[in-house]
Structure 1
Amino acid sequence: MGKKVLITGANGAFGALAARALLKNGHDLVATMRDPDERNAAVAAELRAAGANVVDIDVTDDVRVSKGVEAAISAVGGLDVLINVAGTGTHGLTEGFTSEQMLRLFDINVVGVHRMMRAVLPTFRGQGSGLVINVSSLLGRLSMPFYGPYSATKFAVETLSDSYRVELSQLGVDVVLVEPGGFKTSWIGNLVHPHDEARLEGYGQFAKVPDHALAGYEQFLASKPEQDVNKVSEAIVNLVQTPAGSRPNRTVVDFIGMGEEVQKMNDQLAQVTSGIYGAFGVDDLLTLKA
C-alpha cells in the first residue's frame, strides 16, 4: 500500500528525483518548494503532470510551513512520511562567511528541519506512527576543507535527528538519516560563497585554492559514472518502503570511496551509543516501538 508522503525541496536535484521515484512506486506525494507558481513553476508543472500535489513551503517561514503542512494533509488525507531535503550548500574559506550568511544557512538547513518536524509530529504522535527521513551528507560525519559552514549545519542535522529518534521511538515515530556523498548535480552551481572578500585578502594566494579545488572536484565527479544521483532517490524510496523497526538509522549513499570509511564510523558510533545508553539504563529508547 502506498504511503502519504511530504517532501521538501522538490525543486532541487535530490528532491525532484526522489519525488518522481516515489510517484513511480505508487505513493501519494505532496511535493513542496518555494514559489511553485513563480520561480519554480516549470518543475512544479512537471511534478503535477506526474501526479504530485504541489504545495508552497518556505522552510524558513513558520507561517508558510504551518499552512503548507495543513494543505498537504488535506490534499492526500493524512500523512505517513516527511522527507526533509530542502537545503543549501556553501564553498569557500570559512572565515569569509559573514555572521548573516551563517545565520541564514543554519535557518535553512537546521532550523528548517526542526520547523518541518514540529509541524508534522503532532499528526505522527496522534496516530502512533510516522517516518521522518532527514537528508544529511557525508560532510555531516567528516569535515573537509572549504565546506565548513555547510558541514557544520549537517553535523547539527545529524545530532538533531539522533535526539529526535530516541525521544520519539516509544511513540512509534521513526527518524532516520540519508548521507549522500558528492554528486554532479545543479547543487554545485548553486553553492553560496563567502561575501567578505576583503577578509580573504589575508590568505594571500591560498584564497584562490577553493575555486581550483571545486573545479577539480567537478571534473573528478564527471569521471565517475558509478556515482549515480539516482541512487539517492532509490535509497529514500527503500526507506519509505521498509517496515517500521527494520530501517537503519543511517544510510550512506556513495560509491567513490569516502562512503565506505564513513560507514565504519557509523558502525562504531552505533556500538558506542548502545554501550552508553545501556550504562545509563535507557537502551530501550534505541528500539522503535512499532
Structure 2
Amino acid sequence: MKHILITGCSSGFGFMAAKHLAEQGHHVYASMRNVNGKNAKKAMELLAYANEHNLKIEVHDIDVTSDESVHKAISKIDKVDVLINNAGRGYGGPVEAFSSQQLLSQLDLNIVGTLRVANAVLPKMRKQRSGLIIQVSSVAGRGSFPGYGIYCASKWGLEGVSEAMRYELAPLGIDVVLVEPGPFSTDFLANIVEPKDPEINADYQHVKEFIDGFETQVKDMYENNKATNPLIVAELFETLINTPAGKRPLRSIAGLDFGFQALNDVVEPIRKSSLESMNIGDLDGPKN
C-alpha cells in the first residue's frame, strides 16, 4: 500500500485517479480547492464512495496557487510515497490577446503550483529516502499550436523543471516522471480561460477557426474513440507506481498522441546520450 497525494481531484483525471488508486488498496489523499464551497459536492462524493466501498480516501483542501494553503494541508499528512501533481487549467486564444497577468496566472498554476506541492512533500520523501513524483504534463508540452501558446508555455516549462528534478532527486531515492495526456473526455475544454482583450482577439479569426475546429474534432473523438477515456490516465498512474524505481520512463504519453510519441522515441536516446556526455548518466532515475 502506498500513501498517494493527488492534486486537482474535483474532476477529470484527479477525481478518477483518486477512486481507481484507492480501489487498488492505496491510501489516497485527494485534494482540491474549496472543499467547503464550490467543490463540496465533489468532496462528499469521493468520501461517500470510499465509505461505500471501504476504501481509504481522505479529502484535503489545497489551492496550489497558495503557499499557505499547501503547507497547511501537507502539515496534516504524515507520509507521502507518491505525489501526483495533476491540478491545472488551460488558457486558450492568441498570445497577443492575453495580458501579462494572465500569462503569470497560467504559469503560476501549471508550473509554480507543482513546485509548491513538491517542495512541501520533498522533506518527507528525502527523510524516507524514497518517493515518486508524477507530473501531469500534456502532448502540448511536446509541441505548440495556434491558440494554445500560453498553455503550451506552461507545459513546456513543466517539462523542463521536471526533467531537472529527476536528475537532482535520483541520488536521494526519489523518482520524477512526466505523464503527457492527449485530449480526454474531461472538463478541460469547458474550463478554458479566454483572453481579456476582445478587440485583439477579434483580429485573429484564423486562430478562432482553428480552435473551434479542433474542439469539434476532439469532442467527436470523445464519442467514437476509446483512447479518450480518462481511466487510461489513472491506469497509467498505477503502472508507473507499480514499476520499480530506476525502471520508470521519464516520459509516458497517454491516449491520442498526434504523432508526438514518435518525437519522444527520437529524443530519448539523444537525451540519454547527452547525460552520458556530461558524465551524469547515473542520475537518470534512482537505483534499486
Instruction: Kindly state the Cα deviation for residue 221 of structure 1 after the two structures are TM-superposed.
Output: 3.4
Equivalent position amino acid for 2:206 in 1:
F
RMSD: 1.5
Dislocated runs of 4+, deviation >4 Å: none
Structure 1 gap segments, 5+ residues each = none
Task: Say which SS state the counterpart of residue 186 (structure 1) adopts.
Answer: coil
Match of 1:264 among 259, 262, 265: 262
Distance 1:216 1:267, change over 3 A: closer
Identity of aligned residues (%): 40
Task: Specify the SS of the correspondent of 1:91.
Answer: coil
2:71 is matched with: 66
What is the rounded CA distance, in whole Å, between the counterparts of 1:13 and 1:40 in structure 2?
A: 13
Q: How does 1:14-25 map to 2 (within 5 A)?
A: 14-25=13-24
Give per-residue Cα distances to partners, 1:123-148, cap 9 Å, x unaligned. 11111100000111011011122111
Scaled by the length of structure 1, what TM-score is found? 0.92
Assess if the C-alpha contact under 8 Å between 2:11 and 2:186 holds in 1.
no
- The corresponding residue for 2:193 is 192
In structure 1, the partner of 2:181 is 180
| Cα distance in 1 between the residues matched to 2:132 and 2:125 | 8
Deviation, structure 1 residue 257? 5.1
Determine the structure 1 residue equivalent to 2:3.
4
**Unaligned stretches of 5+ in structure 2?**
51-55
Amino acid at match of 1:275: S
SS across alignment from 1:72: coil
Residue of structure 1 in register with 2:229 after alignment? 228
Whole-Å separation in 1 of the counterparts to 2:279 and 2:169 = 17
Q: CA deviation at 1:212?
A: 4.4
Contact 2:146 2:207 in 1 (8 A): no
Give distance in 1, aligned partners of 2:271 and 2:11.
34
1:155-197 residue CA offsets vs partner (Å, 9 max, x unmatched): 1111111000000111100001111000122111111111111
SS at match of 1:214: helix
Quickly say closer, same or farther: Cα 1:279–1:83, change in 2 above 3 A: same
The code of the aligned residue for 1:175 comes to V
CA contact (8 A) 1:9 1:87 kept: yes
Aligned length: 281
Specify the alignment match of 2:206 in structure 1: 206
TM-score (structure 2 length as normaliser): 0.93
Instruction: Tell me: CA distance 1:184–1:283, structure 2 relative to 1, closer, same or farther (3 Å).
Output: same
- Equivalent residue number for residue 31 of structure 1: 30
CA distance in 2, matches of 1:243, 1:216: 38
